[in-house]
């Protein structure tokens, strides 16, 4: 069936008017420039190193401009060695309750397309979010029911939960309440040890974050109604 150009144009204009769309974007992954991102992480390495590995393997259409952390990793650490081999800068910015180093972080990420929080255990202020002005994607455990504070995996394990999960979402001023991009869950049971429980939880976090980034880069994530998304 032929779709004449003038009919195609009229159809898309009708769509744009219906949804009040101002512009459309089409990306061709093999031709378009990769997204420039910065990754922020704290002490835990599992999400950070998984992203680095996927980047090295060409599984994510991104270029990592730098890694920023409030945790000091020695130069012989596996993350630091990886970054050194690939020429990716590592910035250690220790934080305190009174100084989150947000201005310095802002200067480091200002030329990026979006930012990834790979288990960065700091709350980004509303002023930082406004100053950056672009999307920030976060990952956190989705243990059910919710366990707050330190060692959530141990708390959930001791409570005998049967279902664990992970959630990746956009960062907003309201803590952990931004539009959800991806969620994953897995069964656990009395057969699990604390170690196997933690491994399952961390694997979910890695997969969930990577899938959220991939969907976002492929323009398959459409936010709507403030706190919701459509993921194609």
- Report the range of poorest mean pLDDT among 98-112, 113-127, 214-228: 214-228
- Round to whole Å and give the CA distance between 14 and 72: 54
Mean pLDDT along residues 112-139: 96
- Cα-Cα-Cα-Cα dihedral of 57, 63, 66, 69, to 10°? -60
- Round to whole Å and give the CA distance between 140 and 168: 7
pLDDT at 185 over 90: yes
pLDDT at 70 over 90: yes
- Round to whole Å and give the CA distance between 231 and 180: 10
- Round to whole Å and give the CA distance between 31 and 21: 25
Q: How far is CA 180 from CA 19, 167, 227, in A?
A: 22, 7, 8
Catalytically active residues are 176
Q: What is the CA radius of gyration of the chain?
A: 20
pLDDT at 146 over 90: no
Give me the pLDDT at residue 25, please: 67
Mean pLDDT along residues 159-178: 90
Give me the pLDDT at residue 232, please: 86
Determine phi and psi for 108, rounding to 5 degrees.
Answer: -75, -30
pLDDT at 201 over 80: yes
Average pLDDT, the chain: 91
Report the candidate in 83, 77, 91, 160 with the shortest Cα–Cα distance to residue 120: 91
Helix (H) or strand (E) holding 46: helix 46-56
Instruction: Answer whether 135's CB lies under 8 Å from 212's CB.
Output: no
pLDDT at 30 over 90: no
Q: How far is CA 110 from the centre of its chain?
A: 17
Supply the pTM of this predicted model: 0.86
């Amino acid at each position: 069936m032929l779709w004449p150009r003038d009919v195609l144009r009229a159809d898309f204009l009708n769509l744009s008017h219906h949804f009040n769309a101002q512009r459309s974007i089409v990306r061709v992954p093999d031709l378009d420039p990769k997204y420039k991102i910065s990754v922020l992480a704290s002490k835990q390495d599992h999400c950070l190193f998984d992203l680095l590995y996927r980047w090295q393997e060409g599984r994510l259409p991104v270029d990592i401009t730098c890694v920023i952390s409030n945790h000091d990793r020695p130069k012989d650490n596996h993350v630091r060695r990886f970054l050194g081999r690939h020429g990716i800068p590592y910035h250690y910015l220790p934080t305190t309750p009174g100084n989150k180093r947000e201005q310095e972080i802002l200067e480091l990420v200002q030329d990026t397309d979006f930012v990834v929080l790979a288990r960065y255990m700091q709350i980004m202020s509303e002023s930082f979010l406004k100053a950056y002005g672009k999307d920030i994607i976060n990952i956190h455990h989705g243990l059910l029911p919710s366990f707050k504070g330190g060692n959530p995996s141990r708390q959930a394990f001791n409570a005998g939960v049967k279902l664990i999960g992970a959630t990746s979402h956009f960062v907003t001023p309201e803590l952990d309440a931004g539009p959800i991009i991806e969620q994953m869950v897995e069964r656990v049971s009395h057969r699990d040890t604390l170690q196997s429980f933690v491994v399952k939880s961390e694997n979910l976090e890695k997969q969930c974050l990577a899938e959220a980034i991939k969907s976002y880069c492929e323009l398959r994530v459409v936010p709507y109604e403030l706190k919701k998304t459509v993921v194609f």
